[in-house]
Amino acid sequence: MFVNYLTLNEIFRGFHIQRWNDRIRPMDLIEIDKHSHKMLIAYILAKYEENNTPINWSNLILFGIFEMFRRIAISDIKSPIYAEITKRPEVFVKLNEFVFNKYSSIFDEPILLDEFHKFLFNTNNEVSFELRLLNAAHVYASIWEFKIIENANPGNYQIEKIRKELDNRMSPYSDLIGIQKLSDPFPIKHFVDLFGYLRFQYRWAQLPRVPKTSVLGHSLLVAIISYLFARQNNACPRRLYNDFFGGLFHDLPEAVTRDIISPVKTSSPELDELIKNLEQELAIAEIYPLLEPSWIEEIKYFTIDEFKNKIVENGSVKVINTVEEMNSLFNDEMYNPYDGSLIRAADHLAAFLEVWNSCNAGIRTDEMSTAAHNIKEKYTGKKYGEVEFRKIYEHFKNPC
């Protein structure tokens, strides 16, 4: 299984890891939020470059996920120390051996473990273009966070030093079109800011919960689970791309509407329809103008009817009823396949993890207990293609 109890718990650890925790912060800066922002930035950088350079999107996604796992495993090591370690190959190998040994008992799928090994131990010492884009996105996301820290620490004597270090780390990527765009007040810079603001929106905001999870971090959790579901279904590269970025962008409209909880959205069909219409109106007014025109149709594909299985046939979007039908008939690049039902299932699983972990930590409410029970009951008997949800949920003994 690509998705199992141990893997899900390891991803969720990203919500517990604090960044910049030796500085005054106006808010908590969380590891998984940073990686979510990083993957959005990597998407933008790759989009700008793909007109001139072929992009292996499967590698970009997979390497981004693996790098997050590595960062979770070594979260106690500060970034400057980690940077020094990477400069010493013999020490870096030992660190990666530690990381690999940790995940060898967590990843169920041998192919995933083999891919992780190849990622960690690149014996050819090659830095692929996709890794270069991810590294640039990582630094830019760090700079974005630093601006928050800088404002909260105006008199700190180390601030100028940190700024210079980050600028030096960004300098090797100044040839990238996307970095040039993000360095000037182009609209795409505002899109990165808008997506980043999702880290300030907390889910389940009306309930006491541990840990607090942001819409930004939740989006990456959904994206990774969706990607792993797609791997379980032996998805073609375009389907993997759509399921990952569909998961990452599925809550993008909330950047302009805020997080409206499901009970409110679904309290009546009329209200649900009204909210969807308002989301699209606001997207047209506030989101699409920030994008390159050639990207807008793809973002619409990810955010309109985002929980329906879709393909593109003869230039038109067509809804597909089941994942099984997608697997057997449309698992091909030419159809631009998108598993909305798997993204929805990933969204529900992410919500389950959010309430289950809080209950497990001793912070529970009747609303959380009901939500955890209902989600588990909804999926326990379901199978979407090769994804058997019983095997996922049965390991989560309900503490709620």
Average pLDDT for 348-374: 94
**CATH top-level class of 5-198:** mainly alpha
Using left for φ > 0, alpha for ψ between -120 and 50, and beta otherwise, residue 125 falls in: left
Angstrom CA distances, 240 to 147, 376, 392, stand at 34, 25, 20
* Assigned CATH topology for domain 215-393: Hypothetical protein af1432 (1.10.3210)
pLDDT in tens, 205-228: 889 999 999 999 999 999 999 999
Residues whose CB is less than 8 angstroms from the CB of residue 122 and which lie 6 or more positions away in sequence, other chains included: none
The secondary structure of 123-177 as a DSSP string is TT----HHHHHHHHHHHHHHHHHHHHHHHH-TT-TTHHHHHHHHHHHHGGGTTSH
Token output for 390: 């019983």
Q: Which residue has the tokens 């699983």?
A: 349
377, 394 in Cβ contact below 8 A? no
pLDDT in tens, 45-66: 999 999 999 999 999 999 999 9
Tell the burial category of 178 from Cβ atoms under 10 Å away from its Cβ (0-12, 13-18, 19+). buried
| CA quadruple 68, 73, 79, 82: dihedral, nearest 10 | -110
List the chain domain ranges.
5-198, 215-393
pLDDT computed for residue 123 by the predictor: 61
pTM metric for this prediction: 0.95
145, 41 in Cβ contact below 8 A? no
